Structure 1
Amino acid sequence: MAKSSEKTTTIINNPSGDSGSGMGMVFGVIILVVVGYLIWVYGIPAIQQMQSEGVQINVPSSIDVNVNQTK
């Protein structure tokens, strides 16, 4: 087979400079604030209710100590 003398041209299209205004970051921060608020309002009380109550001790408001015993 004969060697071809044709040359292929490689074209590289570099992307143009992005002139974005950072709206993606603004939306990301807003979403993080909303998720954080929802965790603060609903998540923390739910976690506190799931914790074990422990031992419940009822102390009466007044204690009657009668030292005079009847026989």
Structure 2
Amino acid sequence: MVDGHSSRRDEEAVRILQEENVVAITFPSGLTSILQPFDAVINHPQKVNFRAAYIRLSKALKEKVQRKKFDKI
């Protein structure tokens, strides 16, 4: 089961899934909180907190911190 992101319709990915006899079932949009509770309950708050910490650090350093380096700080 996957969400309806446009990447799910990638021709190469679809071909590989078909070759492996995998049937991908796409979630209807707007149902993440019901069908993917981990994303709604765990990942979303973590993303919000991560973004807030990133902004605080950028302000404290008075420069924009590169996100790819943020996890090393």
TM (normalized to structure 2)? 0.34
Higher RCO (CA < 8 A, seq sep 6+)? 2
**Greater helix content:** 2
Larger Rg belongs to: 1
